């Protein structure tokens, strides 16, 4: 009991020379201890705030231990101030010992954590890694873009192949019919004229039989080229099959279509040059202007009928 009395009233040890301190010396010691104590008490509060705010750090126990260590350091300085007037040397010693124990614990844990901390990537390493990732991402984006361009190119090639006649490079039957259907809808909606030319090479079988199938192919290619040269860039030219072609003339009435058909006929008769076939070739053409209410099939049938008429009337003519 006596021990506790002495422990708390500060008389356990005599003050000795403390009461003899001069004012400036006292201010220096008390001021220094007070400033250090304030700092040592503020640091644990800051660490507590950090632990509360950053639950993701996973080192909260280590930070709390460090906060405790700092707190006890602060407490020894407070006791240093008190001891100037009261001799609580026993409590002071006790707090110093506690500070020592918690410091040792912190030091041991700090050393144990050191490899983990060293292994943790530095800010520079993380910055480098981010840079590497950004570069890799850029490379990936570039590769992706190239791939997309390649796919678009291949798709366009495949579409072209699917829509094109292999031999002549003109539109194939499916594609010219698809476009004709669209153009009929457009003509209907905007009330604009639309005409077609149905073209068939004359006595092509005989050419094939005389000069061979290969020469016949050359002639088909040369005819396709003449049709290209003769028609306008708004027109669509297709090969329906064999030696039969269709030229689609958007925004064109019969009066405009007929001379165009005539130019095609003349081009085949006069301009066609196929070395294997010296006698050349001619073409018969049926011209029809689409009229309101006419279906695609009716349009084609009417063009076929006119073509048949041209064939029956001696070929190499336009009907
Ligand atoms: N070289 C070649 N011949 C083809 C091709 N497709 C069809 N033919 C031939 O074209 C010929 C068409 O003959 P027909 O339908 O009798 O017509 P045509 O001889 O031109 O007679 P008309 O049309 O009455 O003037 C056939 O002999 C087919 O074999 C092809 O891609 N190349």
Helix (H/G/I), strand (E/B), else coil: 280? coil
Query: Which segment of 112-116, 230-234, 262-266 scores lowest on mean pLDDT?
Result: 112-116
β-strand partners of 284: 200
203 is catalytic: no
Answer whether 314 contacts ligand 1 (Cβ < 6 A): no
Residue nearest to atom 32 of ligand 1 (CA): 217
pLDDT on residue 19: 54
What is the tens place of the pLDDT at every residue in 110-163?
Answer: 888 888 778 878 889 999 999 999 999 999 999 999 999 999 999 999 999 999
Q: State the maximum Cα–Cα separation within the chain, in Å, rounded to a whole number.
A: 145
**Could you tell me the two tokens for 161?**
């192949």
Residue 91: pLDDT over 90: no
pTM for this model (two decimals) = 0.63
Taking 3-state DSSP, the helix, strand and coil percentages for the chain, each rounded to the nearest 5, stand at: 70, 10, 20
Given a contact cutoff of 8 angstroms between Cβ atoms, the answer to whether 95 and 72 are in contact is: yes
Ligand 1 centroid – CA 199 distance (Å): 13
Ligand 1 centroid – CA 281 distance (Å): 12
Among 205, 307, 316, say which to mutate for ligand 1: greatest number of ligand atoms within 8 Å of CB.
205
For residue 209, the ligand 1 atom closest to its alpha carbon is 27
What is the tens place of the pLDDT at every residue in 272-305?
Answer: 989 889 889 999 999 999 999 999 999 999 999 9
Given a contact cutoff of 8 angstroms between Cβ atoms, the answer to whether 30 and 84 are in contact is: yes
Residue nearest to atom 8 of ligand 1 (CA): 242
pLDDT on residue 313: 95
- Catalytic annotation, pick one of 6, 188, 203, 243: 243
Answer whether 175 contacts ligand 1 (Cβ < 6 A): no
Beta-carbon contacts of 165 under 8 Å, excluding residues fewer than 6 positions away, are: 171, 172, 238, 239
Answer whether 319 contacts ligand 1 (Cβ < 6 A): no
Average pLDDT over residues 71-94: 86
Given a contact cutoff of 8 angstroms between Cβ atoms, the answer to whether 37 and 74 are in contact is: yes
ipTM of the complex: 0.96
107 or 140, higher pLDDT: 140
Given a contact cutoff of 8 angstroms between Cβ atoms, the answer to whether 271 and 219 are in contact is: no
Query: Which segment of 2-6, 284-288, 305-309 scores lowest on mean pLDDT?
Result: 2-6
Q: How far apart are CA 235 and CA 148, in angstroms?
A: 32
């Amino acid at each position: 009991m006596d021990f506790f009395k002495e422990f708390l009233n500060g008389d356990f040890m005599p003050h000795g020379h403390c009461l003899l301190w001069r004012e400036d010396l006292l201010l220096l010691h008390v001021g220094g201890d007070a400033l250090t104590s304030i700092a040592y008490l503020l640091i644990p509060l800051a660490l507590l705030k950090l632990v509360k705010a950053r639950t993701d750090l996973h080192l909260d126990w280590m930070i709390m231990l460090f906060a405790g260590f700092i707190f006890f350091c602060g407490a020894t300085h407070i006791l240093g101030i008190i001891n100037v007037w009261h001799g609580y040397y026993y409590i002071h010693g006790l707090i110093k010992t506690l500070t020592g124990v918690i410091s040792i614990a912190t030091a041991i844990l700090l050393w144990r954590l050191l490899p983990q901390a060293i292994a943790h990537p530095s800010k520079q390493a993380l910055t480098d890694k981010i840079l590497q990732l950004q570069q890799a991402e850029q490379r990936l984006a570039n590769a992706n873009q190239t791939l997309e361009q390649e796919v678009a190119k291949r798709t366009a090639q495949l579409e072209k192949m699917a829509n094109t006649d292999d031999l002549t490079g003109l539109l194939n039957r499916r594609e010219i019919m698809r476009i004709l259907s669209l153009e009929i809808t457009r003509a209907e909606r905007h009330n604009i004229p639309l005409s077609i030319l149905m073209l068939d090479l004359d006595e092509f079988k005989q050419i094939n039989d005389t000069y061979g199938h290969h020469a016949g192919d050359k002639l088909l290619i040369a005819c396709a080229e003449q049709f290209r040269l003769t028609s306008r860039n708004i027109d669509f030219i297709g090969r329906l099959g064999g030696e039969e072609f269709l030229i689609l003339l958007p925004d064109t009435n019969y009066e405009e279509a007929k001379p165009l058909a005539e130019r095609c006929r003349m081009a085949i008769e006069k301009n066609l040059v196929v070395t294997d076939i010296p006698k050349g070739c001619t073409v018969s053409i049926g011209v029809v202007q689409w009229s309101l209410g006419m279906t695609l099939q009716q349009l084609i049938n009417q063009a076929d009928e006119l073509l048949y008429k041209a064939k029956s009337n001696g070929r190499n003519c336009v009907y």
